[in-house]
Chains A and B, each alone.
Chain A
Amino acid sequence: MTPREDILHRVRAALGRGGSPPSPDPPAVRLRIPEVVIESRIASFTARLEALAGRVLRADTPGRAGERVREALGDRSAVASNAPYLEECAVTRFPGVRSGSTDRDQLRALCASADVGITSADYALADTGTLVMLSSPHEARMISLLPPAHIAVLPVTRLITGLDELFSILPDPASTTSSMVLITGPSRTADIEQILVRGVHGPGQITVVLVG
């Protein structure tokens, strides 16, 4: 017997049945999606993220969003993702911003030395202040992870209410991507004497520019 057969056999014996069971009938999925107007979603997202020491900036147009990013960057170096929305905001054309990399090793080296990583985001969750990032040719995992600061730019139309709405839009994220990451505030730890320290392994600063 292979270990697989052995374990499955033990499971079946413990559950008191012979062969493979018929398709079971799980409890109904529980998703509750409230109606929340966009202004309240923006207010909630902002309050949640600011409570975690994140920053939220507003811009009317993609062009204005680009300006906000440039101001936020100052003279720091940055690596930007290949998201079309960043191009629309002209972020990828700023001096000091590297973009367009599709090579893993090259991108990792860029991220390891950049001061700031700039991405878009697929969704944002209003009731927790969360960014939702799906890995794709447009968005690499390292940009929101290796640099000490993260700036995300997204249109407010992607701001949804919360987890329940996310999983109703994406019932199975695995059909779209190998990696979906929910980011709620800056990286943090309280492992020593429960004292909060930001920026342990991931970015210690997070800025979100909401557009529209």
Chain B
Amino acid sequence: MPGEKPGVFDRKIREALSDARLQQAIYTATGRLKESRLNVVSSGVLPDYQELRTQANRLKQHAIDNLDFYLEQFQRNVEARGGRVVFCQNGVAVADFVLALAKERGARLIVKSKSMTTEEIDLNERLEHHGLESVETDLGEYILQLAHERPYHIVAPALHKTRYDVADILSERLHVPRETVIEKQTAIARGVLRQKFLAADIGISGANFIVADSGAIVLVENEGNARLTTSAPKIHIAIAGIEKVIPRAQDLATFLKLLARSATGQLLSVYTSFLSGPRRPGEIDGPDEFYVLLLDNGRTRLLADREKRQTLYCIRCGACLNACPVYRKIGGHSFPWVYSGPIGAILTPQFREVPQEPSLPFASSLCGACAEVCPVKIDIPKILLELRSDAHRHDPPKSQNRWEKLAFRAFAWLMRHPRAYEMAGRMAGSLAAADDAAWISRVPALLNIGPLRAWLSQRDLPPPPPRSFRQLWRQR
């Protein structure tokens, strides 16, 4: 890792690793999501899964390569249906717009449906700072808002909370009797939030897709809170990153088949809402005002890099988190920003001007599981490598001293000299006790010093087998 002392990232990782209950929770939850996904993308169930991925990748690439065209087309179509599109450079611009509108309409209560984009700009905090009440209505997000925490996972935000944690949070914050039955906890939240929905002045949602040829936003959810958020209040504001645009409504046939499958293993989420503009003449309900705020917040900076541009294809399904052996150990809160897992590791350093955590792209084994499950085929390992090389360019590692250079030179020599390599292998074998997976961290004290010690402390290596491949080969 380039020239950084172990910092917050390391400390949080250690905390997560040493919490046995948390380890169990992450492992079980991501394991279940992983398995559910596999059940619905297998070739028996969805024979054209790979074709759909290819199509989704092509569509995203096309939309991003023509982003200016599609954003303008989207705006024209929203405004033709009586809605309004507002371009926002950052979170301050979003908050300013909402605050000004709230003031003009005398609005005080806002209901919100789940949106990573609004997490990204700390929208609730900004609004509440100015005296508005902004309530998260997705059950997991609501629990986290009460607990003052940020989401642990892109699609399962409260993955790290047990029913007992939830019981504490609800009784403490809502002053209700402590309740540990999950159905009853859900009913408590439903009751409180139902009143908020019916009283709210403004509903704020994100957008899973924005559709250029119809001027529509698409929301995908299971609970019904996004439907209520966008239909009950008289004002609906959708906040979307500019990269969410897709060319045509018909392309949803591709994306919707992939999104729910990849995220939760459902064929479709319970509710998919396709919303375009305020209610039309004759329609009985729905909002009177419809706004779409298109957010930049670092996205155009990322766009300039041809290779890394594909980061913007992400549809936030979370499949890469569940597949990632690193996420499954260190969890969501170890990551320095709202986006976690492999996608967080490539989004965070590119979205933010000042790199929050220089070692982030290095926290990966580059195993490729993330790229394998990505429904839009983002080559995450490749981008991680690019980011590593960027990090070295900006901050040439001071610690690559002559010892390290010498070690790598010796390693290179060893790899080019088969006999020496074999002898080294045998020597290493004699150091390891059989079935001791952690032997490498206990190599003799002579070697276990200085930079080597830090290096070894992070690594396991299975003990070498009694006979090497070369020996077996000679004997056959």
A residues near B (Cβ < 8 Å) are 2-4, 6-8, 10-15, 20-21, 23-24, 26-27, 29-32, 48, 101-104, 107-108, 112, 127-128, 130, 135-137, 140-142, 145, 163-164, 166-168, 170-175, 177-195, 197, 199-203
Within 8 A of A (CB), among B285-317: 285-286, 290, 294, 296, 300-301, 303-304
**Complex contacts, A194 vs chain B, CB 8 Å:** 28-29, 32, 156, 159
Q: Does A200 contact B224, Cβ atoms closer than 8 Å? A: yes
**B223–A27 touching, CB < 8 Å:** no
Given contacts A23-B69, A178-B275, A181-B227, A7 and B300 within 8 Å (CB-CB): yes
With a cutoff of 8 Å between Cβ atoms, the chain B residues found around residue A8 in the complex are 68, 71-72, 87
- Does B257 belong to the interface (CB within 8 Å)? yes
The docked-state distance in angstroms from the alpha carbon of A20 to that of B67 is 10
User: Would A201 and B225 be within 8 Å (CB), given that A7-B296, A130-B268, A178-B275 are in contact?
Assistant: yes
- Contacting residue for A31 out of B185, B224, B253, B300, CB 8 A: B253
Contact B280 A178 (CB under 8 A): yes
Tell me the interface secondary structure of chain A in the complex: loop
**With the chains together, A135 CA to B68 CA distance in Å?**
31
The complex places the Cα of A200 from the Cα of B264 at a distance, in Å, of 17
Query: Considering the chains assembled together, what is the distance between the CA atoms of A171 and B213 in angstroms?
Result: 10
Tally the A-B contacts, defined by beta carbons under 8 Å. Answer: 265
In the bound complex, do residue A173 and residue B68 qualify as a contact, i.e. CB atoms below 8 Å apart?
Answer: no
Known contacts A3-B89, A136-B282, A184-B268; decide if A14 and B251 are in contact (CB<8 Å).
no
CB distance from B219 to the nearest CB of A (A): 9
Which residues on A sit within 8 Å (CB–CB) of B51? 30
State whether A12 and B223 are in contact (beta carbons under 8 Å apart), knowing that A26-B247, A191-B158 are contacts in the complex: no
Query: Taking CB as reference atom, which chain B residue is nearest A26?
Result: B247
In contact, A14 and B303 (Cβ under 8 angstroms): yes
Mask, B271-282, CB within 8 Å of A = 1, is 111111111101
Query: Which residue in chain B gives the minimum CB-CB distance to A139?
Result: B284
Asked if A29 and B248 sit within 8 Å, CB to CB, the answer is yes
- Docked Cα-Cα span, A163 to B272, in Å, equals 12
- Within 8 Å CB of A175, what residues of B? 214
Contact with A along B31-67 (1 / 0, CB 8 A): 0100000000000000010011001001100110111
